[in-house]
Every structure is written in C-alpha cells, then in structure tokens.
Structure 1
Amino acid sequence: MSKAPTRKQHHHGDLRQALIEAGMALLAEGGPEALTLRRCAARAGVSHAAPAHHFDGLAGLRQAIAMEGFRIFRETMEAAAAAGPQTPRARLRGVCAGYLEFAIRHPALFDLMFGFSASELPPPRKDEQNSLAYQTLRQACAPFVGPGQDPAAIESQVWSLVHGFATLYLSGRMRFNAGSAAPRARFDEVMALLDRIGTDPAA
C-alpha cells in the first residue's frame, strides 16, 4: 500500500494561497468572528503554527484576503462589462452592475476589503498596476472626462453612486424584499443617473 501524501504535499508548495482561500471560506460562512489563524490552519489542513510563516499575524492574513478579494472584484466587474453592449455608457453600467454583483455575492469579503484604509493595504507591485480593481472603474469612466477636467471628479461621482447603493443594500436599509426582483430594478433606476455624468463621448 502506498504511503498517504503529507499535508504539505497536498498544497504543492502553495500553502500561502491555500491559507488565503481557507480564510475566505471561513469569512463567507461565519463572518469576521469566524476568521482566526487557528481555524484557518485547520481548514487548510496544516498545523496551527503554519500561518506564521506566511503572514504577520491575523492582521496580515486579513490584508492578504482583502488583496485577493480585490482581484476577484476586478474580474467580476470586467466580466459584467464584457457581457453587454460595448458602448462607453453600457460598459460603465456593466462595471457598476459587476460591482453590486460582487457585493451581494461576497458581503463579508466586501466589508473586509473596504474596512481597510488605502494606507493599510500593501502597495501593488509595478507589474500589478493594471490589475487593480480601481483601474477597471477608472477606465470605464475615462471616456466621459472632458478636456481639462480632473478625471477624479467623474470617478468619485460614479464610485460614490455605486458604492453607496451597494453599502445601503447590504445593510438592509433598502425598502424592498432582498429575495425579490426589486433590487435589480431599483439599481437600474439609480444607475440611470450615470447618463447625466460627464461629457458624452459622441459629442
């Protein structure tokens, strides 16, 4: 009978990623209170001391989970934008739809990600600049920036609109049943304001 593989062999050397994924699963199942180094190690099938080799305590693990969340966030927004018409405004609406989709699908992760200030997260490496989630929003807003206009003005308007809706929805403060079709209908009504933002690219 062949010898069973060790736990470390199971991860093929990518233990750090396995711990991040274990932490994300714990977060999704039980919220922030469920996320501990010991539980994360047990979920990944390694000793309770293993996370210390990859993260600076629980805070370091939380930061790593947030960075992985932003990667998935970017992919969700880009997929939503690519699924619809490819006009500038349709892509902008698609990015915003992906934003809300991610928040609804991963509420605890969404809260964790935006619970950090920008200065608390590690800066991206030079080769990761184009992978930042904010770049996706920035690129979708770019066609509506008029000559001499500060791009941040348009970006902040769009970001405030979609993030505000997502946050209010997750908090349960919207006046509709979360199990109905109303969230998307209400979201489309609010996102209609995007048609008034910025300079029309066709102008």
Structure 2
Amino acid sequence: MDADLQKKPHHHGNLREALVLAGLQLLEEGGPDALTLRKCAALAGVSHAAPAHHFDGLHGLKWALAEEGFRRFRNYMVDAEVTGEQTPRGRMKSICRGYLHFARDNRALFQLIFGFDAKDVPVRPTRDVGSFGYEPLRRCCAPFIPDDVPREVIEAQVWSLIHGFTTLFLAGRFWALEDAPEDGAFDQVMALLDRVGTAPESLGNPGDPS
C-alpha cells in the first residue's frame, strides 16, 4: 500500500491533526493492521520521523484516533436523539440507533475505541474521552433509575443491550432475524428497552415514565 499513498502537504502548526486524519483514513481503508507511523507520515506528506514529535509510538497514535472516535461517536448519538419520538423512551431508542449507525458507518473505528482498557491509555488525558462519548447514553438512562437502584445497573442494562446488538449486527450473526431489514431487527430487539426501570412484577405492562 505504500506505493499508493500520495503525499499531501500539511499546514504548519497543524501536523498532529494531519497525522490523525491520515490515521483515520488508513484505518477506514485497511483496518487496524494498516496503521503504521510511517504510512501516516507518508499520507500526511511529512518525514517518517515527524510522528515521534506528537505520539508515543504507534500506541499513542491509536489513542489519538480513539479520542477522535469517541467525539464522533458522541455526535452520532446526539444527532440521533432529536430524530425520533421526543419522550424519555423515544430519546433512549434514538440514541441507541445513533450508537448502531456509528458502528455501521465506522466499523474499524468502533472496534478501535472499544479495544482500549483504562490501563492501556498511554498518558492521562486532559479529560475522560470515554465518559464524554458515553454521556448521551448515561443521560438518556437517568429518567429510568429507581430510587433504590444504583444508576450503573440501569446504564449497564441499556449499554449491554445496544452494544451486544451492535456487535452481533456487525458480525452478521442474527440467525433468527437474518431476513429482517436492519430497522426491523433493531425495533424488535430494542422493544426490550420498554422494560428498563420497570418493576419485575409489572413487566407484562411496561409504560413510559411521566
């Protein structure tokens, strides 16, 4: 692929951004295995030594891509939030749809941002970008948290449902729903969100909070 990379000039003082954009392009075109500092430098139109001034090796570059990925991930959910029914459950489902659509449109980047453990972050960032990206989902869960249940329990229920659905969808592993269109499968599975925050004895007749 090196021979196919065309050098592109960068603006002085904006080299880090140019390298991140080059890394995102490489990631999109070839997946994580296509990422190297040398290829990023070539695509950004700079010397192969230039990335060392901005990243602590390839791992540092990947974390920089993950930071940008979390920002885009959040934007997908925020943008989706206003597209559906404007009720607490409607906004929750819309945010989950944005979650799915980000992963569908950015498969390699989705895999990258969820491939980092906290211990793998190369340096302490100025802000917790993972929490920043996760904020819309946390916010949409807030109306459904009972007084006697830790918020993490409700958030884990919703997050597990949409992340599991998204992962299986990307892998093409919907055996029972293989003939259903994307939206049909999504709506059927996300119907389980109607039970979030509902007492076990009333699960047969879930309803939106007032």
TM-score by length of 2: 0.84
Assess, with a 3 A threshold, how the Cα gap between structure 1 residues 15 and 131 changes in structure 2: closer, same or farther: farther
Can you give the 5+ residue segments of structure 2 that lack an aligned partner in the other structure?
1-7, 199-207
Equivalence for 1:3: none
Q: Percent identity?
A: 57
1:104 aligns with 2:104: yes
Equivalence for 1:141: 141
Counterparts of 2:190 and 2:72, CA distance in 1: 22
Task: Provide runs of 4+ in structure 1 moved above 4 Å.
Answer: 128-131
The Cα of 1:139 is off from its aligned counterpart by: 0.3
Q: Deviation string for 1:7-44 (max 9, x for gaps)?
A: 4xx32411111111110110000111111101111111
1:120 aligns with 2:158: no
Assess, with a 3 A threshold, how the Cα gap between structure 1 residues 38 and 21 changes in structure 2: closer, same or farther: same
The Cα of 1:124 is off from its aligned counterpart by: 4.6
Counterparts of 1:27 and 1:136, CA distance in 2: 25
The Cα of 1:170 is off from its aligned counterpart by: 1.3
Can you give the 5+ residue segments of structure 1 that lack an aligned partner in the other structure?
1-5
Q: Residue 194 of structure 1 aligns to which amino acid in structure 2?
A: L
Q: Residue 189 of structure 1 aligns to which amino acid in structure 2?
A: Q
Q: Is the 8 A contact 1:103 1:110 kept in 2?
A: yes
Counterparts of 1:14 and 1:181, CA distance in 2: 46
Q: Is the 8 A contact 2:80 2:97 kept in 1?
A: yes
Counterparts of 1:201 and 1:106, CA distance in 2: 34
Equivalence for 1:194: 193
Assess, with a 3 A threshold, how the Cα gap between structure 1 residues 160 and 130 changes in structure 2: closer, same or farther: closer
Assess, with a 3 A threshold, how the Cα gap between structure 1 residues 123 and 100 changes in structure 2: closer, same or farther: farther
Equivalence for 2:181: 182
* Alignment RMSD: 2.1
Equivalence for 1:39: 39
Instruction: Report the secondary structure of 1:132's partner residue.
Output: helix
Q: Is the 8 A contact 1:71 1:131 kept in 2?
A: no
Equivalence for 1:153: 153
Counterparts of 1:44 and 1:181, CA distance in 2: 42
Q: Is the 8 A contact 2:70 2:129 kept in 1?
A: no
Assess, with a 3 A threshold, how the Cα gap between structure 1 residues 189 and 173 changes in structure 2: closer, same or farther: same
